[in-house]
């Protein structure tokens, strides 16, 4: 499909100067020839794309994901449901499995998906099946923009440092009274994994591999490393680099995972919040 024909099917409207755009498209056009490629281009430009009340079916959501890349099948998040068997992860606090429930609660802190792997996911799609009655907004922070705005001297200080990520780092936040059984369970799911702190990506842009799963800096004493990581998250999540999305039923949000941190605002199980998530496999290792 020619460019002008694609632009007639989908258009974008910037949300903030640094992050986010509303995407306007009819559900039946979401997988039309050329549209998924245009979405990927816009994702690189805007970081977060919001499709207000698009009301995609699960089938179209999976098809769209496949049109933009390889669908990442749920593994750690697989819960045996029919929805999960389609390649969709249902995000809800209404889970009987302890690890699954902890995984959802852990989303309440700033994080990047996939830091347990050398190659994180390329992008994530979130569809609102049931908006929460209270709380549950999702916030995004643009790591690319934060790095570009960082003083050059600070950038030089961060180069060549290495960060360790693990589930225990965030587990201690939601369960400060943890025990050895908790530690063993967390390490089984996501053992300590080391990455470069500064990720210079093939696109020419740079992000920091930080967030709630960051445990420490290899080259620094534990207290200094923790302090530095906290300072970097605070810097990267300033208002000028963030966008907060308030969910409505049928909303679809797609975000560029390697360039962002994200988190959910806390909510209760009674709020009824239910999201459906698919992930596009990554192709670039953290290096």
In the chain, what percentage of residues exceed pLDDT 70?
97
pLDDT band at 85 (very low <50, low <70, confident <90, very high): confident
pLDDT of 3 higher than 90: no
* 9-26: pLDDT as tens digits: 999 999 999 999 999 999
- The whole-number pLDDT of residue 8 equals 85
Report the SS3 class of residue 6. Answer: helix
Token duo for residue 178: 């943890």
Q: Which of 181, 179, 208, 177 has its CA nearest to residue 195?
A: 208
What is the rounded average pLDDT of the residues 40-61?
97
**Structurally, how many domains does the chain consist of?**
1
Q: What is the pLDDT of residues 269-287, one digit of tens each?
A: 999 999 999 999 999 999 9
pLDDT tens track for 94-127: 887 777 888 899 999 999 999 999 999 999 999 9
Q: Is residue 286 part of a domain?
A: no
In which region does residue 160 sit, left (phi positive, over 0), alpha (psi from -120 to 50) or beta (all else)?
Answer: left
Domain assignment present for residue 285? The answer is no
Q: What is the tens place of the pLDDT at every residue in 138-180?
A: 999 999 999 999 999 999 999 999 999 999 999 999 999 999 9
- Contact yes or no for 213/166 (Cβ under 8 A): yes
CATH of the domain at 59: 3.60.130.10
Residue 151: inside a domain: yes
Phi, psi of 192 (to 5 degrees): -55, 130
Length of the chain as a residue count:
287
pLDDT above 80: residue 196: yes
Contact 215, 165 (CB under 8 A): yes
* % of the chain exceeding 90 in pLDDT: 89
Is residue 114 domain-resident? Answer: yes
Q: pLDDT by residue (tens digit) across 207-226?
A: 999 999 999 999 999 999 99
Measured distance CA(120)–CA(114) in Å, rounded: 4
- C-alpha–C-alpha distance, residues 30 and 49, integer Å: 13
In terms of residue numbers, what domain contains 128? Answer: 3-280
At residue 168, the pLDDT reads 95
Give residue 42's pLDDT: 97
- Looking only at the bridges linking them, the beta strands covering 206-208 and 274-280 are unpaired
Q: Is the pLDDT of residue 4 over 70?
A: no
Res 5: pLDDT = 76
Q: For residue 262, give the DSSP letter.
A: E
State how far the Cα of 209 lies from the Cα of 259, in Å rounded to an integer: 9
**Contact (CB, 8 A) for 210 and 261:** yes
């Amino acid at each position: 499909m020619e460019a002008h024909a694609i632009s007639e099917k989908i258009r974008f409207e910037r949300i903030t100067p640094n992050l986010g755009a509303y995407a306007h498209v009819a559900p039946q056009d979401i997988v039309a020839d050329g549209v998924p490629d245009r979405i990927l281009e816009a994702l690189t430009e805007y970081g977060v794309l919001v499709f207000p009340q698009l009301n995609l079916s699960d089938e179209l959501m999976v098809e769209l994901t496949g049109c933009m890349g390889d669908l990442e099948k749920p593994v750690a998040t697989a819960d045996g449901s029919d929805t999960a068997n389609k390649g969709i992860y249902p995000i809800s606090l209404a889970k009987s499995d302890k690890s699954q429930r902890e995984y959802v609660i852990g989303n309440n802190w700033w994080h990047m998906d996939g830091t347990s792997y050398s190659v994180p996911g390329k992008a994530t799609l979130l569809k609102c099946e049931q908006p929460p009655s209270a709380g549950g907004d999702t916030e995004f922070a643009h790591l690319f923009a934060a790095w570009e705005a960082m003083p050059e001297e600070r950038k030089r200080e961060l180069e060549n440092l290495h960060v360790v990520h693990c589930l225990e780092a965030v587990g201690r936040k939601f369960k400060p009274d943890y025990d050895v059984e908790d530690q063993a369970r967390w390490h089984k799911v996501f053992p300590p994994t080391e990455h470069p702190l500064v990720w210079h990506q093939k696109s020419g842009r740079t992000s920091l591999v930080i967030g709630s799963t960051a445990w420490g800096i290899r080259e620094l004493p534990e207290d200094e490393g923790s302090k530095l990581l906290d300072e970097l998250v605070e810097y990267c999540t300033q208002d000028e680099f963030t966008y907060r999305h308030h969910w409505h039923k049928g909303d679809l949000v797609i975000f560029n995972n390697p360039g962002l941190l994200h988190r959910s605002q806390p909510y209760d199980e009674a709020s009824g919040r239910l999201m459906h998530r698919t992930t596009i496999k990554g192709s670039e290792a953290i290096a």
